[in-house]
Structure 1
Amino acid sequence: MRTFIKVYLLPMLFLVAITTQVSAQTRRTTTTEKTTSTTTRKSAVSKRIPSSKVTYKTPQKKVVAVRNVPNRSVINYKGQNFYYANNKYYTQSRGSYIVIAPKVGFRIKVLPANYRRVRFNNYDYYNAQGIFYIQINNEYEVVDPEIGTIVYELPYDYEKVIIDGQSYYEYANILYEKVQVDGVRAYEVVGIIDME
């Protein structure tokens, strides 16, 4: 009986143990490769970042002001008038109109030209020049996108920022990180800057 155990049973158990270990390593390796081929992440950023922690690579942002805004529509938001025309949002200051990033909650009746539909977590977002909208009845409301939302291009006037030593891209207070999706360069929403 001892000879049977030494000759047949122990080698069988040894082979089963090696096979199990190899298949476990193979599964672990496959999962890691799949994750890294889909997206590449440098670090995790929490959803809300105070503006005091954000360092812009270009310290002074150019302020664009115009004397008048023809064919504008008025957006009354929390008792203050803002203006929308030519796919841009404005506020009035000292007799001029200054281009601003729209505030969450602004509503417009028609989406800007060249918008793209972005589907994420069963929601349809409409991304127009870096601004995210959702449809509510017959209007489109400016919203913050969910963390993890992917877009394939950023507006031309995005900003490079540094948070805790890591580089990100910012547009309209939305933080993006460059990732690879199926071998294609994309940008993933990783946070929102809280303006103080």
Structure 2
Amino acid sequence: MKTFIKTFVLPSLFIVAISTQVSGQTRRSSTTNANKKVTTTTRVTTTKTTTAPRSTGRRVSSTKVTYKTPKKKVVSVRSVPNRTVINHKGQNYYYSNNKYYTQSRGHYVVIPPKVGFRINVLPSNHKRVYFNNRNYFNAGGIFYIQTNNQYEVVEPEVGTVVYELPNDYEKVVIDGLTYYEYANVLYEKVQVNGARAYEVVGIIEIN
């Protein structure tokens, strides 16, 4: 009987034990592989695109701006023929020959209209400027957008490009760098397809 147990029973138990161990290893291997699949899935990188809100961008305090000429250029005349009077927030503007004037000490001084100023008809010298899915109308360095049946003065967005500036622009220095300024809009000279142009880089805030 002892011989039977040694010859048949013990080898059978050994085979069963080996089979169980192999089966356990197989299950652990399958589990490990499954875990690897999960890890690979969680490592997939998703790129998220965020659209920034519309903004005029960089704003510079007037205290940081130094004008290269000691006195700001002032264009004045004694009379404004064929003028149109436009009142905006209690201030009279006198419009004639594509320019706006204000009255001061018996003279009419050229002055850019402020943001929010509205007119019914654009100045005849306006040019269309398209930037960032928005239509601007630039006339003598002043930017307008169409609002219903009127045209409103606005600040241009940083990156907007024009190909000429008004004759009475100013050169200014900010942090050691030279820019061009008109109506509190800062420009930097650039090249576009080999042509000279001016790109809006910021707005001067009056303190």
TM-score, scaled relative to structure 2:
0.67
1:134 aligned counterpart, secondary structure:
strand
CA-CA distance at 1:113 after TM superposition? 2.2
Corresponding residue for 2:182? Answer: 171
Residues 62 and 160 of structure 1, relative CA distance in 2, 3 Å threshold: closer
Alignment gaps of 5+ in structure 2: 1-56
1:62 aligned counterpart, secondary structure:
coil
Corresponding residue for 1:39? Answer: none
Distance 1:145 1:114 in 2: 18
Deviations 1:49-108 (A, max 9, x none): 111111111121232222332222222211222221111111122332211122111122
Deviations 1:124-175 (A, max 9, x none): 0011121111111222111110111111222222211100101111111110
8 Å CA contact 2:112, 2:183 repeated in 1: yes
The sequence identity of aligned pairs, in percent, is 74
8 Å CA contact 2:143, 2:156 repeated in 1: yes
Correspondence list, 1:68-107, <5 A:
68-107=79-118
Moved more, 137-146 or 179-188: 179-188
Of 169, 191, 195, 2:202 maps to 191
TM-score, scaled relative to structure 1:
0.71
1:50 equivalent in alignment to 2:57: no
1:127 equivalent in alignment to 2:102: no
8 Å CA contact 1:75, 1:107 repeated in 2: no
Distance 2:90 2:169 in 1: 29
Of 188, 193, 197, 1:182 maps to 193
Distance 1:154 1:126 in 2: 14
Distance 1:94 1:74 in 2: 18
CA RMSD in angstroms, aligned pairs only: 1.6
CA-CA distance at 1:192 after TM superposition? 0.8
Runs of 4+ in 1 over 4 A off after TM superposition: none
8 Å CA contact 2:58, 2:201 repeated in 1: yes
Alignment gaps of 5+ in structure 1: 1-45
Aligned length: 151
Tell me which amino acid in the other structure corresponds to 2:177: Q
8 Å CA contact 1:75, 1:106 repeated in 2: no
CA-CA distance at 1:119 after TM superposition? 0.4
Corresponding residue for 1:66? Answer: 77
Tell me which amino acid in the other structure corresponds to 1:143: V
Distance 2:161 2:124 in 1: 20
Q: Based on CA coordinates, which of the two structures has the bigger radius of gyration?
A: 2
